[in-house]
């Protein structure tokens, strides 16, 4: 079986390791793929569209008959909107390629439309939730930043982790998205505060404060 893994993060400084590990383990353990035979397509880019080189190469190879299955970690890695998700899945299935979603333990195979309408509906619903979750998270972060900027602490004190200040206003720093990713891993228990502090070159107290008292600034709430 010719299997591909597709992994994506939203910014250039985010880490792909977690997705790479999950898709690799699934392909090897569930599909019996030799590790050296697994094709990996990856993207590090911003935005919610599908104009990504790794994605485009994946689709091209699938439509050329080079792939039998594609493994992704979760629905939101394939696309961040339900319309993109629908287009992607349809193109892959028309090419005879099965789509495996690791986190939901779901498989969409060519020809399954009439056989399992419940699974199809569930997949569409997951796509809607992924899109809605991304929008809510962005909105909550914007509201959290606006609320914090009204306090004396942020008007006169130092900028929080991952931010800088511009005339008293909080501005996302160049490493903001990397900070969010690392803090999210700590909040989920995938990384220790000590490791996070080392990665971010700050004190563990700074990491604790960001997670316990400023979670709305990083989309953790």
Catalytic residue positions, numbered:
10
3-state secondary structure of 173: coil
Contacts of 60 (CB under 8 A, 6+ apart): none
What does DSSP say about strands 169-172 and 98-101: parallel, antiparallel, or unpaired? Answer: unpaired
Q: Are 161 and 179 in contact (CB under 8 A)?
A: yes
Whole-number Å distance between alpha carbons of 9 and 177 = 10
Concatenated DSSP letters of 69-111: EEEESSHHHH-SSHHHHHHHHHHHHHTT-EEEETTTTEEE-TT
Whole-number Å distance between alpha carbons of 46 and 49 = 9
Q: Are 36 and 3 in contact (CB under 8 A)?
A: no
Whole-number Å distance between alpha carbons of 146 and 140 = 10
Tallying the residues shown for the chain, one arrives at: 221
């Amino acid at each position: 079986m010719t299997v591909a893994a597709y992994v994506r993060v939203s910014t250039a400084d985010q880490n792909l390791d977690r997705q790479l590990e999950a898709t690799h383990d699934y392909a090897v353990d569930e599909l019996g793929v030799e590790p050296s035979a697994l094709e990996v397509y990856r993207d590090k880019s911003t935005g919610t569209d599908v104009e990504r080189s790794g994605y485009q190469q994946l689709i091209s190879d699938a439509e050329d008959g080079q792939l039998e299955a594609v493994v992704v970690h979760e629905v939101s890695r394939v696309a961040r909107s339900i319309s993109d998700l629908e287009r992607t899945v349809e193109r892959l299935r028309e090419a005879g390629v099965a789509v495996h979603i690791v986190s939901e333990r779901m498989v969409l195979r060519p020809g399954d439309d009439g056989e399992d309408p419940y699974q199809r509906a569930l997949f569409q619903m997951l796509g809607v939730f992924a899109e809605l979750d991304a929008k809510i998270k962005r909105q909550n972060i914007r509201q959290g930043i606006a609320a914090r900027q009204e306090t004396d602490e942020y008007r006169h004190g130092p900028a929080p982790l991952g931010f800088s200040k511009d005339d008293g206003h909080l501005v996302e720093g160049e490493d903001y998205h990397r900070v969010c990713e690392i803090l999210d891993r700590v909040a989920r228990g995938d990384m220790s505060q000590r490791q996070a502090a080392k990665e971010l070159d700050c004190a563990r107290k700074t990491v604790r404060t960001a997670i316990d008292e400023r979670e709305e600034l990083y989309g953790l709430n």
